[in-house]
Amino acid sequence: MLPIVIVSLLLSVTSAFAETPKRIISLAPNVTEILFALGLDNSVVGVTSFCDYPERAKDKPKVGGMSNPSLERVVSLKPDIVIMTTDGNPKVFAERLQSFRIQTYVFGARTLSELPQGIRALGLALGMREKADLLAREIESSLNNLSRSSFHASRKEKVLFIIWPEPLIVAGPGTAIDDAIGILGHHNIAAKSRSSYPKYSIEETILQSPDIIFIGKGHADIRDLSKGLLKKLSWVPAVKNHRVFFVSDNLYRLGPRVIYGIEEMAACLK
Amino acid sequence: MSKIKLAALFCAALFVMLLSLFLGSHVINPFQASDVEREILISIRLPRVIVAVLMGMALGASGAVLQGILKNPLADPYILGISSGAALSATLGLLSGVYIFGKFSIPLTAFIGASFISIVVGFFGWKEGKLLPERLLLAGVGLSFLLYAMLMFLISISSHEGIRRAVLWIFGDLSIADWSMIPYGIVFIIAGLYISVSRAKALNALMLGDEIAHSLGFAVHKERLLFFLSISLMTSASVSLGGTIGFIGLLIPHMVRFIMGADNRFVVPLSALYGGVFLCIADLIGRSLLPPMEIPSGIITALVGSPYFLYLLRKRDVLTA
């Protein structure tokens, strides 16, 4: 019941801006990336400590983490609008902000297919309809091209995308990575897990024998860290046939960079 | 305690350990195993079961010994702050990206943290050439709070992706079990077990009080120091193998006492044996319940163990046990 009330509360205050707000705070790294891609560099006055892309985002004032942003910090930055996501920001935070008469907007897209529409809606709310539409269309056409070229993929292969090798954490359902694997015409073996980033069983990985393994690059030296796991998986076709690929973290966030992430994966599979 | 009963208990334990090797989300018939299944058995399940047994043994035995030397039924190996020390240093290691020792980095940083905190607790518990139980206990509790607060501080301010890994590790994670870690684990845990089991008589005497133990011919303070050393060795090794797993150190020794009586010559080795069995079962449940996902064993030990413990508590009177 409560979430519904909050959502309707949110909807009631997210009327479109007539002109672009001058002071924007982003409470999620993917939103920050979208705002920068829309050319709002100078309007963004606050970001989370996770917002590290593009490089210029690091210089923006930090308002705390995604799950624990500082209310005081946000209020003191006098934002015209605070942009949140349904994925990682606490709902009560929006309520607190409203009690300070600070306008909020919730970025609702959670999957790759929802991203262009999400960007359009955000653009509408920020009074940047045309620019947002352009970005959305760019993403849509790239997605279409990618799925069209993979339509002729010789066969559907089994893929596993590893986020962290020890303990084994992989990309499950409801992630941009899972969508990307589908767009490339393949099957994510972790698609039936109960959570988006499940702690995955190594045994199960061997039994499901993925043909292709992607390992996302984190900050740490992931190649060294993966050695132990890959040794345990030496029986898996992907490892036997040298089809283990290290890819960037472009797909970790639902923002404009996902296209590069999918292109990178497609390039590995060529 | 008859020899037959002991032998039966030992065989039952061995049987459960073997069973947990072949059971799981995918049951493997050892006589008709395919190549892939054989690979799973040897390079994934076997090291995992061995690590579970080693950790469980270390925690069970440490708990039994610690409850003896502190004469406190609430004592568990983590109360001395050893696990918090290990968790803090391993988390620091994960966050700072210290990978100079490759896959040994986390176990090693955990072991260093655990050993360092053991020494600090020992230092605070030490007065006038004696290791005093009350001081040891309070120093452990005090340090635990400090270390735990520091850990939470790190977790709350950090945006590093290693944090999730650290949190999983703190819950206890046996999925990283690997053959290469086992020899070190065996050396430390067997050394600790040997000290504890071989001095079980002294532990019996210590539980009667320092004066009586002294009049029975035991060098009270030397014995206590040796026991403390053995606990530190076992707990540090255990934490570094697979994180902090609760319940076993506190409750397995009590369960053994409910069933076997309070003679430490049996309580210490049986707490070790059944600590191992119990962690094996917990890990089996953790990896079979929601495949392909895994549930950290530390959660299962408490979920499964605590109700059984409470049942035993109602059925048998602990205070007279």
- A70 touching chain B per CB within 8 A: no
- The reply to whether A84 and A203 lie within a common domain is no
Percent of chain A surpassing pLDDT 90: 56
A43-92: pLDDT as tens digits: 999 999 889 889 999 999 999 888 888 998 999 999 999 999 988 888 88
User: Which CATH number fits the domain that encloses residue A160?
Assistant: 3.40.50.1980
- The alpha-carbon gap from B73 to the nearest alpha carbon of chain A, in Å, equals 34
- The reply to whether A174 and A107 lie within a common domain is no
B275-299: pLDDT as tens digits: 999 999 999 999 898 888 888 888 8
Q: What is the mean pLDDT of residues A145-170?
A: 84
**B108 vs A200 pLDDT, higher one:** A200
pLDDT range class, residue A170, cuts 50, 70, 90: very high
- The reply to whether A13 and A129 lie within a common domain is yes
User: Is there a contact between A195 and B293 if contact means CB atoms under 8 Å apart?
Assistant: yes
Q: What is the mean pLDDT of residues B134-141?
A: 89
- A199 touching chain B per CB within 8 A: yes
- The reply to whether A99 and A126 lie within a common domain is yes
Give dist(CA B315, CA A253) in Å, integer: 54
User: Is there a contact between A167 and B175 if contact means CB atoms under 8 Å apart?
Assistant: yes
Name the residue of chain B whose CA is nearest to A252's CA.
Answer: B161
pLDDT range class, residue A10, cuts 50, 70, 90: very low
What does pTM read for this prediction? 0.80
Name the residue of chain A whose CA is nearest to B105's CA.
Answer: A225
> Is A165:A228 a contact under the CB 8 Å cutoff?
yes
Range of the domain at A49: 2-140
B48-99: pLDDT as tens digits: 999 999 999 999 999 999 999 888 888 888 888 888 888 888 888 877 766 5
- A72 touching chain B per CB within 8 A: no
- B169 touching chain A per CB within 8 A: yes
Q: What is the mean pLDDT of residues A167-191?
A: 92
B189-232: pLDDT as tens digits: 999 999 999 999 999 998 888 889 899 989 888 898 899 889 98
- A208 touching chain B per CB within 8 A: yes
> Nearest to residue A213, comparing CAs of A177, A161, A155, A265?
A161
Most confident of A218-232, A245-259, B29-43, B150-164: A245-259
Number of domains in chain A: 2
**What are chain B's domains?**
50-320 (1.10.3470.10)
* Burial of residue A81, with CB atoms counted within 10 A of its CB: 0-12 exposed, 13-18 middle, 19 or more buried: buried
Give dist(CA A68, CA A141) in Å, integer: 36
User: Is there a contact between A228 and B103 if contact means CB atoms under 8 Å apart?
Assistant: yes
pLDDT range class, residue A15, cuts 50, 70, 90: very low
User: Is there a contact between A167 and B176 if contact means CB atoms under 8 Å apart?
Assistant: yes
- B265 touching chain A per CB within 8 A: no
Mean pLDDT value across chain B: 86
Q: What is the mean pLDDT of residues B146-153?
A: 90
- A248 touching chain B per CB within 8 A: no
**Residue A12 reports pLDDT greater than 70:** no
B319: left (phi over 0), alpha (psi -120 to 50) or beta: alpha
> Is B64:B77 a contact under the CB 8 Å cutoff?
no
Of A140, A168, A185, the residue at which a domain comes to its end is: A140
DSSP code for A255: S
**Residue B154 reports pLDDT greater than 90:** no
User: Is there a contact between A201 and B102 if contact means CB atoms under 8 Å apart?
Assistant: no
User: Is there a contact between B290 and A194 if contact means CB atoms under 8 Å apart?
Assistant: yes
- A207 touching chain B per CB within 8 A: yes
Give dist(CA A232, CA B43) in Å, integer: 6
Find chain B residues with C-beta within 8 A of A193's C-beta.
292-293
pLDDT range class, residue A8, cuts 50, 70, 90: very low
Can you give the pLDDT at residue A153?
A: 63
pLDDT range class, residue A13, cuts 50, 70, 90: very low
Most confident of B32-36, B167-171, B280-284: B280-284
> Is A262:A183 a contact under the CB 8 Å cutoff?
yes
- The reply to whether A57 and A106 lie within a common domain is yes
User: Is there a contact between B175 and A199 if contact means CB atoms under 8 Å apart?
Assistant: yes
Range scoring the smallest mean pLDDT among A156-160, B76-80, B140-144: B76-80
Give me the helix-helix angle, B105-125 and B82-96, nearest 10°. 140
B109-121: pLDDT as tens digits: 888 888 899 889 9
- The reply to whether A7 and A135 lie within a common domain is yes
**B100 vs A270 pLDDT, higher one:** A270
In a domain, A210, yes or no: yes
- 3-class SS at A214? strand
- A202 touching chain B per CB within 8 A: yes
In a domain, A48, yes or no: yes
User: Is there a contact between A224 and B102 if contact means CB atoms under 8 Å apart?
Assistant: yes
Mean pLDDT value across chain A: 87
Element of type H or E holding A24? strand A24-26
Of A140, A175, A193, the residue at which a domain comes to its end is: A140
Percent of chain B surpassing pLDDT 90: 30
Find chain B residues with C-beta within 8 A of A221's C-beta.
97, 99
Residue among B44, B162, B290 whose CB faces A232 most closely: B44
In a domain, A247, yes or no: yes
Residue B36 CA, distance from chain mean position: 32
The beta-strand segments (E) located in B19-141 are: 126-127, 130-131
Residue among B24, B159, B180 whose CB faces A65 most closely: B159
User: Is there a contact between A220 and B162 if contact means CB atoms under 8 Å apart?
Assistant: yes
Mutate to test the interface with A, among B41, B159, B179 (most CBs of A within 10 A): B159
Of A118, A140, A162, the residue at which a domain comes to its end is: A140
Please name every residue paired with A200 in a beta bridge, in sequence order, or none if there are none: B293
User: Is there a contact between A167 and B168 if contact means CB atoms under 8 Å apart?
Assistant: yes
**Residue A19 reports pLDDT greater than 80:** no
In a domain, A148, yes or no: no
User: Is there a contact between A221 and B97 if contact means CB atoms under 8 Å apart?
Assistant: yes
**Residue B319 reports pLDDT greater than 70:** no
Q: Does the predicted interface ipTM exceed a cut of 0.90?
A: no
- The reply to whether A49 and A160 lie within a common domain is no
Can you give the pLDDT at residue B161?
A: 65
- 3-class SS at B249? helix
- The reply to whether A31 and A122 lie within a common domain is yes
**Residue B318 reports pLDDT greater than 60:** no
Find chain A residues with C-beta within 8 A of B176's C-beta.
166-167, 228
- The reply to whether A158 and A133 lie within a common domain is no
- 3-class SS at A164? strand
Find chain A residues with C-beta within 8 A of B39's C-beta.
206, 234-235
- The reply to whether A172 and A93 lie within a common domain is no
